[in-house]
Amino acid sequence: MDHQMWTELLHELNEVCLAELDVLHGYPSLEVRMGPFIRKHPHHPMAALAASIIAGEARWLGMPPSTEVQIQEAEQRLGLALPSSYKSFLRVANGFFIPGAIINTLLPVDLITHFGEHHSDQAALWREVLDDQTGEMADDVWSRLEGTIQLSGPPHHQPEFILLDPHVKNGEGELEIVELGHEMPEYANSFHEVMERAIYIARYVITLYSKNS
């Protein structure tokens, strides 16, 4: 997916999210859901963006594009090549907020990490649950969480994350993306698919809140 297509997709997502913010402002959950990033990374430039969103001042919900050096440094740090669709996203916005979404923070590339780096306890817990299941779940993503790459977070309440799974690659060479919730994980063939789903959900939230207002 080229730069122009990603630019158009993110601007569409941005406009939908701004419309969603119009109906979400006044709900205390907005500030609560944006708060975890501010508390965890208070001095990161993205924290200032989060504060601006809460105040209703932001018109662009993404960070400036990443540089090729930033992407290369992340790949060296993580020990893998990031998939092309995700890198194309970073070249348009190095981090993005999706207010109102359950998983609402897409991290800048300098903050993405191996899931096990900060959540080894949760990975172990999910693995223990799998140990009680039959062998048919042995290949489930929950059994190898430490090696996945956390692209989102920190979560608001439930352990919900967007993860890049280096162990699963599709026919186009894209690594699988996993949206991990407190129930069953959802899978996507590329990061682009995840973002298209985010637009659909944001439109649904607007409709839902509009009917209840």
Count of beta carbons in the 10 Å neighbourhood of residue 209? 15
Count of beta carbons in the 10 Å neighbourhood of residue 145? 25
- Range from 96-105, 123-132, 165-174 carrying the lowest mean pLDDT: 123-132
Count of beta carbons in the 10 Å neighbourhood of residue 88? 19
Closest CA to 149 of 82, 49, 210: 82
Question: What's the average model confidence in pLDDT over 26-53?
Answer: 85
Listed in sequence order, the DSSP H helices in 25-157 are 28-40, 45-54, 68-78, 84-90, 115-131
Degrees (nearest 5) of the Cα angle 20, 115, 170? 80
CB 46 within 8 A of CB 34: no
Q: At residue 138, does pLDDT exceed 60?
A: no
Q: What is the pLDDT of residues 16-32, one digit of tens each?
A: 888 878 776 666 666 66
Does residue 128 or residue 98 have the better pLDDT? 98
- Which residues are CB-contacts of 105 (< 8 A; sequence separation ≥ 6)? 34, 36, 37, 50, 95, 97, 98, 152, 153, 154
Pairing of strands 175-180, 113-114: unpaired
What local confidence, expressed as pLDDT, does residue 106 receive?
95
What local confidence, expressed as pLDDT, does residue 103 receive?
87
Highest mean pLDDT among 73-87, 96-110, 121-135: 73-87
Q: At residue 73, does pLDDT exceed 90?
A: yes
